[in-house]
């Protein structure tokens, strides 16, 4: 099954016939394998771990898939064409365009596909000057497809060029945050995280930071107790890299790795602390939030501590009561509630 953007790409396969193709920031569908009917080879880089798994499970000759903020350092291959799915976070687009340029020879083709309402219309203003002016080649299924050519060698790619460094005051003390483009950040504590950290329970042993983002909660916990064995998980490659950089900047150590929900997690934790990335009342989001509570319950060790902060409009209470047997709300404000359980 193909998303709308991927369907538009399949309408334009004449641009990738017999080419060695790289796809950046792809979606969770079968496009990569379907393009093998036309391209000489397909390599994909997902910034979302769930999307990576979708392609990685489609084991086919001449199809290679990666997850991360960039291709592995030992991947020096040049591609004939690079497809970029325009990101939901518009600030991430120039990052992807420079990354694409590292894997194109001068004269190589850049294809950009995106939703009409997702910012792709502003492509001409966002594309670096080492590309030709983008030409619109298709407009269908509420999506736009543009093509440009790499006309000059791009600057050498350095992740540091895309990092913002700032000091953040937390109830645990000041920490240095290293955030990457496309990762949520207000350069101050958001209300939910502030409520969580202002009421942080006493922790010990193995602690999970679910949906770690740029590493604010993990760094705050380690600021108070450097002996904690913190594990930081997220589904987003940019967030995971930002978290690694934040920990390094504060001389802290934690295990940072991708996980689709709890699927890549092993064993149990003495503590699970999170400002989970479920912020609206959509049915899909609510379903994911409920699954998170259920999986948390089975991953919490005896005498373990579980605490999350959530939008007060999300229906956590019934699920928490069903899984943990009780609902404790030690603190709340006009937007968020803190939920706590001590096993």
Same domain, 25 and 142: yes
Band (286; pLDDT cuts 50, 70, 90): low
Same domain, 203 and 122: no
Same domain, 177 and 148: no
Q: What's the CATH number where 199 sits? A: 3.40.50.150
Same domain, 177 and 147: no
How many domains does the chain contain in total?
Answer: 2
**Which of residues 111, 142, 157 is at a domain's end?**
157
| pLDDT at 214 (0 to 100) | 96
Same domain, 168 and 233: yes
The pair of three-digit structure tokens given for residue 85, joined into one six-digit string: 């799915």
**Which of residues 96, 124, 157 is at a domain's end?**
157
Same domain, 267 and 179: yes
Same domain, 167 and 250: yes
Dump the DSSP string for 62-101: TEEEEESSS--TT----EEEEEEEPPSSGGGHHHHHHHHH
Rounded to the nearest integer, the mean pLDDT of the chain is: 93
How far is CA 51 from its chain centroid? 10
| pLDDT at 113 (0 to 100) | 98
Q: Is the pLDDT of residue 189 over 80?
A: yes
Same domain, 198 and 262: yes
| pLDDT at 184 (0 to 100) | 81
User: What long-range pairs does 228-232 form, CB within 8 A, spacing at least 24?
Assistant: 228/203, 228/204, 229/205, 229/255, 230/254, 230/255, 231/206, 231/207, 231/255, 231/256, 231/257, 231/265, 231/269, 232/256, 232/257
Range of the domain at 18: 4-157
| Lowest-confidence pick of 207-211, 233-237, 285-289 | 285-289
Q: What is the mean pLDDT of residues 262-283?
A: 82
Same domain, 153 and 66: yes
d(CA 291, CA 280): 15
| pLDDT at 77 (0 to 100) | 83
Q: What is the pLDDT of residues 164-177, one digit of tens each?
A: 999 999 999 999 99
Q: Return the percentage of the chain with pLDDT > 90, whole number.
A: 83
Assign 253 to helix, strand or coil.
Answer: coil
**Which of residues 133, 157, 181 is at a domain's end?**
157
Q: What is the pTM of this model?
A: 0.95
Same domain, 235 and 292: yes
Q: Return the percentage of the chain with pLDDT > 70, whole number.
A: 97
Same domain, 62 and 78: yes
The pair of three-digit structure tokens given for residue 228, joined into one six-digit string: 């904690």
How far is CA 287 from its chain centroid? 19
How far is CA 288 from its chain centroid? 16
Same domain, 48 and 170: no
């Amino acid at each position: 099954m193909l998303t709308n953007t991927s369907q538009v790409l399949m309408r334009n396969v004449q641009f990738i016939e017999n080419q060695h193709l790289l796809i950046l920031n792809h979606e969770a569908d079968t496009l990569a394998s379907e393009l093998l009917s036309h391209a000489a080879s397909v390599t994909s880089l997902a910034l979302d771990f769930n999307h990576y798994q979708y392609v990685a499970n489609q084991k086919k000759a001449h199809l290679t898939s990666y997850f991360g903020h960039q291709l592995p350092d030992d991947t020096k291959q040049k591609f004939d064409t690079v497809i970029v799915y325009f990101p939901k976070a518009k600030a991430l687009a120039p990052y992807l365009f420079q990354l694409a340029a590292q894997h194109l020879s001068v004269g190589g083709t850049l294809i950009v596909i995106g939703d009409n309402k997702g910012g792709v219309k502003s492509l001409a203003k966002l594309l670096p000057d080492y590309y030709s002016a983008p030409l619109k080649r298709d407009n269908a299924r509420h999506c736009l497809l543009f093509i440009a050519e790499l006309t000059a060698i791009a600057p050498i790619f350095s992740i540091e060029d895309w990092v913002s460094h700032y000091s953040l005051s937390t109830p645990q003390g000041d920490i240095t945050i290293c955030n990457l483009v496309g990762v949520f950040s207000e350069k101050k504590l958001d209300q939910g995280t502030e409520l969580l950290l202002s009421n942080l329970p006493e922790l010990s042993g193995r602690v999970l930071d679910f949906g770690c983002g740029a590493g604010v909660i993990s760094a705050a916990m380690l600021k108070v107790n450097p002996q904690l064995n913190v594990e930081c998980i997220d589904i987003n490659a940019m967030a995971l890299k930002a978290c690694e950089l934040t920990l390094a900047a504060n001389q802290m150590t934690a295990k940072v790795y991708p996980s689709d929900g709890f699927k890549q997690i092993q064993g149990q934790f003495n503590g699970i602390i999170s400002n989970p990335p479920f912020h609206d009342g959509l049915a899909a989001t609510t379903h994911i939030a409920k699954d998170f509570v259920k999986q948390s319950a089975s991953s919490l060790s005896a005498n373990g501590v579980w605490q999350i902060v959530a939008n007060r409009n999300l229906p956590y209470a019934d699920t928490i009561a069903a899984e943990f047997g009780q609902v404790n709300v030690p603190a709340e404000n006009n937007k968020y509630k803190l939920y706590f359980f001590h096993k």
